[in-house]
Amino acid sequence: MKVDKTVVIITGVGLAIGFAEALVYYNLGTNANSKKFKFGVPKGKELAKNMAVVLATSALTALISYQIEKSLEAKSAAVVPA
């Protein structure tokens, strides 16, 4: 299967934004009962789990977006102008 560059771009951008979002949620959770907010990055298995989830959701978003785009292109190509 040939990988479309759009899928790679969307996956990469989704990974970057998704990881930033995951860091925000991680820090909100770890600081929930703290009076002073400390920013941190998860380590080891916690980091790996976060990255795996973000990568999976980014790849799914890219593939679904790609399929929707191809479907819309096919429909518009099927419509013959009068």
User: d(Cα 68, Cα 59) in Å, to the nearest integer?
Assistant: 14
Per-residue pLDDT band at 78 (split at 50, 70, 90): confident
pTM of the model as a whole: 0.72
The reported pLDDT for the residue numbered 75 is: 81
Per-residue pLDDT band at 28 (split at 50, 70, 90): very high
Spatial neighbors of 13 by CB under 8 A, at least 6 apart, are 58
